[in-house]
Amino acid sequence: MSKELPYFQFFINEWLNDDISISTYKSKGVFIDICAFYWFKDCIISLAQLKQRYGNAKKETDYLFDNQILKISENNFIKIKFLDDQLGSLSAKRVKRQESGRLGGLAKAKNYPSIAITADKQPSTIIDIDKDKDIDNKIKWPFKDSMDFRMKWSEWENYKKDEFNFKYKSAGSMTAALNMLVKLSSNNWKVAMQIIDQSIANGWKGFFALAGSKETNLADTIEAIPENLPKIKDAFGLQKFWKRLRENGYIRKELPNGQQQWQKK
């Protein structure tokens, strides 16, 4: 955003009369610096990023959050409304310009058939950003009272992107991953965070029950993600794995499709 529009609108009346006006000078300075960083990053900053960058200004950032000057979305990202509004307005103008350019290019192509028209195939960064925010707003988050879990999930998303060039493309796919994590952790947010740490430490693409956890979790893992069963077997030893399941009251039953599944007696 800073390359396309290296400035944002600053509303003097709001600065002098809204909640920010009664803040300390230091809090105001931190806020305007965050605004600049927010705009530079296309209005996408995770809470984890903010805490890492402004860790030496915790008192000021806490004040900004407590007074709703800075807000946190359900997906654990920062929200600054007046900048988001400006970004949305710019997005609409960009789409209009692209459409005008596309029509002009098509008209020119009729006169010069050899010219390849590829502009309409180029994705808009801003449109992609809007799509990501729309997906995040549809997520039904577990452990809503735990900000620590939100930060850990943000760390997981960054890990998936950096290591595997992967990001959740829909609210449904992210919700499915969250539901699996809830099941493996027995709906315990602290255990869920440990599971995320375990996957990152081992370079895994998905979630597995904690090593050394109760066998009920192992069985849930088999049922939830059967494609990962070979990894689980390798981790515990095949014979030892079956034995521990039987000792804890599980039996292997054959399903109508011919496959087998461990079930509680």
Q: What is the pTM of this model?
A: 0.39
Check if the beta carbon of residue 31 is closer than 8 Å to that of residue 64.
yes
Stretch 244-261: mean pLDDT: 69
Helix, strand, coil content of the chain in percent (nearest 5)? 65, 5, 30
- 27-73 pLDDT, tens digit each: 999 999 999 999 888 888 889 899 989 989 999 999 999 998 999 98
Confidence grade of residue 251 (pLDDT, cut at 50, 70, 90):
confident
Confidence at residue 255, expressed as pLDDT on a 0 to 100 scale: 62
Confidence at residue 196, expressed as pLDDT on a 0 to 100 scale: 92
Confidence at residue 126, expressed as pLDDT on a 0 to 100 scale: 47
Which residues are 103's β-sheet partners? none
Strand spans (E) along the chain: 71-72, 78-79, 250-254, 260-264
- 65-122 pLDDT, tens digit each: 999 899 998 778 899 988 888 887 776 655 555 556 555 655 555 555 544 444 444 4
Stretch 183-192: mean pLDDT: 89
191-197 long-range Cβ contacts below 8 angstroms, 24+ apart: 192/142, 192/143, 192/149, 192/152, 193/148, 193/149, 193/152, 196/152, 196/153, 196/155, 196/156, 197/152
User: How far, in Å, CA of 9 to CA of 35, rounded?
Assistant: 11
Check if the beta carbon of residue 192 is closer than 8 Å to that of residue 209.
no
| 210 DSSP 8-state letter | P
User: How far, in Å, CA of 142 to CA of 179, rounded?
Assistant: 8
Is 1 in a helix, a strand, or coil?
coil
User: How far, in Å, CA of 101 to CA of 98, rounded?
Assistant: 5
User: How far, in Å, CA of 172 to CA of 177, rounded?
Assistant: 9
Is 102 in a helix, a strand, or coil?
helix
Confidence grade of residue 124 (pLDDT, cut at 50, 70, 90):
very low
DSSP structure string for 106-174: HHHHHH-TTS---GGGSPPHHHHHHHHHHHHHT---SSTT-HHHHHHHHHHHHHHHHHH-----SHHHH
Nearest residue to 51 via CA among 60, 42, 40, 39: 60
Report the amino acid identity of residue 107: A
Stretch 189-202: mean pLDDT: 90
Q: What is the mean pLDDT of the chain?
A: 75
Check if the beta carbon of residue 83 is closer than 8 Å to that of residue 8.
yes
Higher pLDDT, 252 or 207: 207
**Cα 114 from chain centroid?**
43
Stretch 169-184: mean pLDDT: 88
Check if the beta carbon of residue 209 is closer than 8 Å to that of residue 184.
yes
User: How far, in Å, CA of 119 to CA of 144, rounded?
Assistant: 42
User: How far, in Å, CA of 77 to CA of 27, rounded?
Assistant: 20
Residue 260 φ then ψ, to 5°: -115, 150
